[in-house]
Structure 1
């Protein structure tokens, strides 16, 4: 994922975090929060789609037989409703807003609340709203970028794509790094995933599939050896005997 794409996702997350603080302080209503949240994230998704096509075009200029021109792929307006519903889910059963001085981390105002436990619960809820809404905004922008890139590859009749993991990727993503999949297989990310994909050829698919099949057989053989050491040793002995007889 490019620096521009990451910056777009982080910008959306920061804007939503600020919006959450306004809602928690009672400055804006829940309805206003859901509408503005949807607008912010929708705008980030549109920009993510544009950046993804530009990134693919730049990549194709030096790494593909012909340029993959941007087509202006963008999420439809119905996405706004989906985002509003997401915001409604995040803010479901919202308690009364928390005083601004409490939100800022002051200690004394917490003692002034008639029910300290209720005050702590409210503060915890609003902190959760900020965390959840920011994560949704960030992930939505990043996912849109990958989905748009894969959709553009499909329209260009590119047969496959390659998984490109980030240096600090999780163990599962590092294991997938370099794997090649047919274009019909959707990129499956996870929350806060920064991995990317790039075009690949049919031949690269076949090579990658053979490697994954061999790795799977090796893992299965190892698992069998761990579950039945005696059987594995017996099988190895028979293999050695057969080799000696030959």
Structure 2
């Protein structure tokens, strides 16, 4: 019975809509289409499918600029710094640790670093900087679709689907197996409650695994 319930919940959620597809005609102009696309694909993992049906994943977000798809890769650069104490106006150690510090210089710059070492006449530390590398991928005229998956979008549907299915499954289990409570009566409330909770969990897990695809179509 439980296996049948799980299969029913999965099939119901799967066939109640798993994606939305957008084209240029939905936005009126190509510029507005690109603007909407760029706003939605920042910092998202994107699946790019080309017109020859080959595909690849861009993990750190994509953007369209001048009819060309660009991707972004975030890197962390570590820079070793050393200053004479005579060039420093203030050293601030947050918390109780002395391994990290904020250093104010006489020229007005403020730097934050780790692995701080202070001697009688100098201070040295490692400054970390995040940099973004932009890579040119492909022109838009060979792109078929670009999509991303929102795993939380369908969660309310999972709850609304799982709860009633679980409740009805509980009633069916009691009728089939004659499950009784401590007083000897049929335990409809207890079993139905347990199956409702199980149904909600199953619906949420199924919805999360399937997710909801947002598909932007460039070429048929």
Normalising by the smaller structure, the TM-score range is under 0.3
More helix, by proportion = 1
- TM-score for both structures, normalised by structure 2: 0.27
Bigger radius of gyration: 2
